[in-house]
Structure 1
Amino acid sequence: MSYIQGYDPDTLREIVDLHQCRQRLEEIGAQRSLPALLERVWLLKVLGELDEALTVADDAVRQARMAGTRRDLLRARILHATILQHRGSFAAAVAEITTCAEEADGQGWTSIAAFACQHRGKVHFDAEDFDAARADFKRALFLRQESDATDGQLQSLLAAIDTTERRRAEASIAV
């Protein structure tokens, strides 16, 4: 079940049903499997509980490092970086996602590389580096097309590119 109802056209953040997210968080409870930890991190993030999200994200990265695959570790690290992003630590988030994107590219894991580029684009967007955001979103779009992504995934990237271009134009007018 997807809890994402859409994306805010100005911030590019997920629009979710907060009640459903809280309910799902209660259902997961204290489960310690890697999928449960990753889902808890995401739910805590969209609910704005960033301190707890960071703690759980740290646990998820540790667990993925010890018992998961390299792909699991990349996904956990990217999600960890999104918590850093939401906390305003843009440079740390970009650094972490960049290493993940490079490893995914090197391994030929197109869908993970696209996921990383898309999230790095969102970090750049939040940091108001619209040129870098646009480049990352375009790279993610290319990678998603290469990996036969769903129409929804492609549409969200096209919308992100449009929003980034609009914000970039507004920023250049303001200068």
Structure 2
Amino acid sequence: MSYILGYDPDTLREKVDVRRCRDRLDEIGEQRSLPSMLERVWLLKVLDRLDDALALSEESVRVARMGGTRKDLLRARILHATILQYRGAFAAAEQELTTCATEAEGQEWNAIAAFAYQHRGKTFYDAGDFSLARADFKRALFLRQEAGTPDDQLESTLLAIDAADRRRATAPLAG
């Protein structure tokens, strides 16, 4: 059962069951496994506890670097970058996500590359660059399709492309 109830069509942020997220956070407690740490980071992020999420995401990157696989490290770095994005550090988030996407594509880890592009697109979207956001969402969609992602799981990417198109159409022209 998912904690995500849907996605906000304007912000592209997850709509979550707050009570279930809090309950799960309490249930996990201070477990030190990398999967538990990454889940806690995500829960803290969607509960808008960004300072706690940032500290734990930095720690999870260190743990992944010391004892995880390269895929684990990429996942931890991508999640860390999403915390930076939520905090408004768009340039830092974009740089980290670009590095992660490039490495994942080089290894032909399409699902991880798609995850990085989706979040880099969200970073561009939050920063107001809807053309670059759309390009990243389209790349994420292609990679997810290549990875065999079921159609019902492509919803967030399709929603993001639509939102970027709407924003591009209504954004004032630079002049």
Same fold flag (TM > 0.5): yes
Q: Percent identity?
A: 69
SS at match of 1:2: coil
CA 10–71 in structure 1, closer or farther in 2 if over 3 Å, else same:
same
After TM superposition, give the deviation of residue 151 of structure 1 in Å: 1.6
What are the residue-to-residue correspondences of 1:34-113 with 2, within 5 Å?
A: 34-113=34-113
SS at match of 1:9: coil
After TM superposition, give the deviation of residue 154 of structure 1 in Å: 1.6
Using structure 2 for the length normalisation, give the TM-score: 0.97
Structure 1 counterpart of 2:160: 160
Using structure 1 for the length normalisation, give the TM-score: 0.97
After TM superposition, give the deviation of residue 72 of structure 1 in Å: 0.2
SS at match of 1:172: coil
C-alpha distance in 1 between matches for 2:171 and 2:51: 31
Structure 1 residue identity aligned to 2:139: R
Structure 1 counterpart of 2:122: 122
Moved over 4 A (4+): none
After TM superposition, give the deviation of residue 150 of structure 1 in Å: 1.7
Q: 1:113-136 CA deviation, whole Å, 9 max, x = no partner?
A: 011100100011000110110000
C-alpha distance in 1 between matches for 2:150 and 2:6: 15
SS at match of 1:108: coil
1:146 pairs with 2:146: yes
Structure 2 counterpart of 1:5: 5
Q: Which blocks of at least 5 consecutive residues in structure 2 are unaligned?
A: none
After TM superposition, give the deviation of residue 174 of structure 1 in Å: 9.3
After TM superposition, give the deviation of residue 172 of structure 1 in Å: 3.1
Q: Which blocks of at least 5 consecutive residues in structure 1 are unaligned?
A: none
SS at match of 1:6: strand
C-alpha distance in 2 between matches for 1:110 and 1:143: 5
C-alpha distance in 2 between matches for 1:155 and 1:49: 26
C-alpha distance in 2 between matches for 1:148 and 1:154: 10
C-alpha distance in 1 between matches for 2:173 and 2:98: 30
SS at match of 1:114: helix
What are the residue-to-residue correspondences of 1:13-32 with 2, within 5 Å?
A: 13-32=13-32
C-alpha distance in 2 between matches for 1:155 and 1:85: 21
After TM superposition, give the deviation of residue 173 of structure 1 in Å: 6.4
SS at match of 2:128: coil
After TM superposition, give the deviation of residue 158 of structure 1 in Å: 1.2
Instruction: Provide the alpha-carbon RMSD of the alignment.
Output: 1.2
Structure 2 counterpart of 1:171: 171
After TM superposition, give the deviation of residue 168 of structure 1 in Å: 1.0
